[in-house]
Amino acid sequence: MTADERIQEISVADQEAGPYGITAGPDGALWLTFVHSGRIARLTLEGELKEYALDSPACRPSVIAPGPDGALWFTRSQDHRIGRITTDGAAESFRVPTPDSGPFGITAGPDGAMWFTQMNTSRVGRITGDGEITEFALPVQGAFPAAITAGPDGALWFALNQANAIGRITTDGEVCLHALPTPGAAPVGIASDGEALWFVEIAAGQIGRITTDGGITEFPLPDRTARPHAIVAAGTGDCWFTEWGANRIGHITTNGEITEYDLPSPSSEPHGITLGPDSALWAALETGGVARVRCSARTARG
Report pLDDT digits (tens) over 100-123. 999 999 999 999 999 999 999 999
> Is it the case that residue 191 has pLDDT exceeding 80?
yes
Q: Is 174 annotated as a binding residue?
A: no
pLDDT band at 296 (very low <50, low <70, confident <90, very high): low
> Is it the case that residue 299 has pLDDT exceeding 90?
no
pLDDT average, residue stretch 44-67:
97
Share of the chain above pLDDT 90, in %: 94
Q: Is 178 annotated as a binding residue?
A: no
> Is it the case that residue 197 has pLDDT exceeding 90?
yes
SS3 of the chain: the string is CCHHHHEEEEECCCCCCCEEEEEECCCCCEEEEECCCCEEEEECCCCCEEEEECCCCCCCEEEEEECCCCCEEEEECCCCEEEEECCCCCEEEEECCCCCCCEEEEEECCCCCEEEEECCCCEEEEECCCCCEEEEECCCCCCCEEEEEECCCCCEEEEECCCCEEEEECCCCCEEEEECCCCCCCEEEEEECCCCEEEEECCCCEEEEECCCCCEEEEECCCCCCCEEEEEEEECCEEEEEECCCCEEEEEECCCCEEEEECCCCCCCEEEEEECCCCCEEEEECCCEEEEECCCCCCCCC
Residue of 36, 80, 251, 271 with catalytic role: 271
Is 251 considered catalytic here? no
Q: Is 260 annotated as a binding residue?
A: no
- Please provide the average confidence, as pLDDT, over all residues in the chain: 95
- The pLDDT value given to residue 3: 52
Q: Where are the domains of the chain?
A: 1-18+221-302
CATH of domain 1-18+221-302: 2.40.10
pLDDT band at 55 (very low <50, low <70, confident <90, very high): very high
